[in-house]
Amino acid sequence: MPSPERRRREAAPALERVVAKPKSQVREYAEALAVALLLALVIRTFVVQAFKIPSGSMLPTLQIGDHLLVNKFLYGARLEIPLTDVSLGRLPGLRKPRPGDVIVFLAPARASADRQRRDFIKRVIAVEGQTIEVRAKQVYIDGKPWDDPHATFLS
Protein backbone atom coordinates (compact mmCIF):
# COMPACT_ATOMS: atom_id res chain seq x y z
CA MET A 1 0.00 0.00 0.00
CA PRO A 2 1.45 3.39 -1.01
CA SER A 3 2.27 5.82 1.72
CA PRO A 4 0.12 8.96 2.23
CA GLU A 5 3.05 11.10 1.12
CA ARG A 6 3.36 9.20 -2.17
CA ARG A 7 -0.40 9.45 -2.82
CA ARG A 8 -0.24 13.24 -2.30
CA ARG A 9 2.67 13.57 -4.76
CA GLU A 10 0.86 11.50 -7.38
CA ALA A 11 -2.40 13.44 -6.93
CA ALA A 12 -0.78 16.89 -6.93
CA PRO A 13 -0.56 17.33 -10.75
CA ALA A 14 -4.23 16.37 -11.15
CA LEU A 15 -5.30 18.78 -8.41
CA GLU A 16 -3.32 21.61 -9.97
CA ARG A 17 -5.21 21.13 -13.24
CA VAL A 18 -8.59 21.20 -11.46
CA VAL A 19 -7.93 24.38 -9.49
CA ALA A 20 -8.45 27.34 -11.84
CA LYS A 21 -6.18 30.31 -11.77
CA PRO A 22 -7.80 33.29 -10.10
CA LYS A 23 -8.90 36.00 -12.55
CA SER A 24 -7.07 39.26 -12.51
CA GLN A 25 -8.91 42.17 -10.94
CA VAL A 26 -8.87 44.06 -14.25
CA ARG A 27 -10.53 41.13 -16.04
CA GLU A 28 -13.19 40.84 -13.32
CA TYR A 29 -14.01 44.57 -13.63
CA ALA A 30 -14.10 44.33 -17.43
CA GLU A 31 -16.50 41.37 -17.32
CA ALA A 32 -18.74 43.09 -14.77
CA LEU A 33 -18.80 46.26 -16.88
CA ALA A 34 -19.62 44.29 -20.05
CA VAL A 35 -22.51 42.49 -18.32
CA ALA A 36 -23.82 45.78 -16.88
CA LEU A 37 -23.70 47.50 -20.29
CA LEU A 38 -25.45 44.58 -21.99
CA LEU A 39 -28.14 44.51 -19.31
CA ALA A 40 -28.66 48.30 -19.54
CA LEU A 41 -28.95 48.08 -23.33
CA VAL A 42 -31.53 45.28 -23.13
CA ILE A 43 -33.56 47.13 -20.47
CA ARG A 44 -33.47 50.40 -22.44
CA THR A 45 -34.44 48.67 -25.69
CA PHE A 46 -37.27 46.47 -24.45
CA VAL A 47 -38.48 47.50 -20.99
CA VAL A 48 -38.11 51.13 -19.88
CA GLN A 49 -36.45 54.30 -21.16
CA ALA A 50 -35.79 57.66 -19.53
CA PHE A 51 -36.80 60.93 -21.22
CA LYS A 52 -36.43 64.60 -20.31
CA ILE A 53 -39.14 67.09 -21.31
CA PRO A 54 -37.48 69.69 -23.61
CA SER A 55 -40.40 72.04 -24.29
CA GLY A 56 -43.65 73.37 -22.89
CA SER A 57 -45.94 71.61 -25.35
CA MET A 58 -47.40 69.42 -22.57
CA LEU A 59 -47.81 72.16 -19.92
CA PRO A 60 -49.20 72.05 -17.25
CA THR A 61 -49.18 68.23 -17.16
CA LEU A 62 -45.44 67.95 -17.83
CA GLN A 63 -43.10 70.80 -16.96
CA ILE A 64 -39.98 71.74 -18.94
CA GLY A 65 -37.10 69.71 -17.52
CA ASP A 66 -39.29 66.96 -16.00
CA HIS A 67 -37.91 63.45 -16.23
CA LEU A 68 -40.04 60.46 -17.28
CA LEU A 69 -39.55 56.72 -17.21
CA VAL A 70 -41.53 55.25 -20.10
CA ASN A 71 -42.84 51.68 -19.96
CA LYS A 72 -42.09 50.24 -23.41
CA PHE A 73 -43.75 46.95 -22.58
CA LEU A 74 -47.30 48.34 -22.41
CA TYR A 75 -47.81 49.10 -26.11
CA GLY A 76 -45.08 46.79 -27.45
CA ALA A 77 -41.43 47.78 -27.63
CA ARG A 78 -40.03 48.76 -30.99
CA LEU A 79 -37.29 46.33 -32.02
CA GLU A 80 -34.35 48.36 -33.24
CA ILE A 81 -30.65 48.06 -33.73
CA PRO A 82 -29.19 49.52 -30.50
CA LEU A 83 -27.94 53.12 -30.69
CA THR A 84 -29.60 53.65 -34.10
CA ASP A 85 -33.08 54.49 -35.40
CA VAL A 86 -33.19 51.36 -37.57
CA SER A 87 -36.45 49.59 -36.71
CA LEU A 88 -36.88 45.83 -37.06
CA GLY A 89 -40.57 45.74 -36.13
CA ARG A 90 -42.44 45.59 -32.80
CA LEU A 91 -43.06 43.19 -29.97
CA PRO A 92 -46.72 42.57 -29.16
CA GLY A 93 -48.05 44.98 -26.54
CA LEU A 94 -50.28 44.38 -23.54
CA ARG A 95 -52.89 46.85 -24.83
CA LYS A 96 -53.45 49.60 -27.39
CA PRO A 97 -53.22 53.32 -26.55
CA ARG A 98 -56.41 54.92 -25.21
CA PRO A 99 -57.56 58.55 -25.27
CA GLY A 100 -55.88 60.40 -22.42
CA ASP A 101 -52.71 58.25 -22.40
CA VAL A 102 -49.41 60.12 -22.62
CA ILE A 103 -47.23 58.38 -25.20
CA VAL A 104 -43.77 58.71 -26.73
CA PHE A 105 -43.34 58.20 -30.46
CA LEU A 106 -40.70 58.80 -33.08
CA ALA A 107 -41.88 61.79 -35.12
CA PRO A 108 -41.20 61.97 -38.86
CA ALA A 109 -38.12 63.96 -39.92
CA ARG A 110 -40.34 66.64 -41.51
CA ALA A 111 -41.75 67.49 -38.06
CA SER A 112 -38.52 69.13 -36.87
CA ALA A 113 -36.68 72.14 -38.23
CA ASP A 114 -33.38 70.27 -38.64
CA ARG A 115 -35.06 67.27 -40.34
CA GLN A 116 -33.92 64.87 -37.60
CA ARG A 117 -36.25 62.20 -36.24
CA ARG A 118 -37.04 63.01 -32.63
CA ASP A 119 -39.03 61.45 -29.83
CA PHE A 120 -42.28 63.33 -29.25
CA ILE A 121 -44.21 63.10 -25.98
CA LYS A 122 -47.91 63.80 -26.51
CA ARG A 123 -51.37 62.93 -25.18
CA VAL A 124 -53.62 60.60 -27.19
CA ILE A 125 -56.91 62.31 -28.09
CA ALA A 126 -58.27 59.78 -30.58
CA VAL A 127 -57.54 56.23 -31.67
CA GLU A 128 -57.72 54.14 -34.81
CA GLY A 129 -61.01 54.62 -36.62
CA GLN A 130 -61.79 58.04 -35.13
CA THR A 131 -61.70 61.30 -37.10
CA ILE A 132 -59.96 64.44 -35.86
CA GLU A 133 -60.72 67.84 -37.32
CA VAL A 134 -59.62 71.36 -36.33
CA ARG A 135 -61.90 74.25 -37.27
CA ALA A 136 -61.48 77.81 -35.95
CA LYS A 137 -59.11 76.64 -33.18
CA GLN A 138 -61.65 74.04 -31.99
CA VAL A 139 -60.85 70.31 -32.11
CA TYR A 140 -63.61 67.94 -33.17
CA ILE A 141 -63.44 64.19 -32.65
CA ASP A 142 -65.96 62.24 -34.72
CA GLY A 143 -67.79 65.52 -35.39
CA LYS A 144 -68.21 66.40 -31.68
CA PRO A 145 -66.34 69.31 -30.05
CA TRP A 146 -63.49 68.14 -27.86
CA ASP A 147 -63.00 70.22 -24.76
CA ASP A 148 -59.70 69.91 -22.95
CA PRO A 149 -58.64 72.65 -20.53
CA HIS A 150 -54.98 71.98 -21.35
CA ALA A 151 -55.32 72.26 -25.13
CA THR A 152 -54.05 75.55 -26.52
CA PHE A 153 -53.42 76.90 -30.00
CA LEU A 154 -50.42 79.12 -30.45
CA SER A 155 -51.24 80.49 -33.89
The set of catalytic residues is: 57, 122
Q: Please, which residues bridge with residue 103 across strands?
A: 122
SS3 content of the chain, % helix, strand, coil (to 5): 25, 25, 50
- What H or E segment, with its residue span, contains residue 109? none
Tell the burial category of 143 from Cβ atoms under 10 Å away from its Cβ (0-12, 13-18, 19+). Answer: exposed
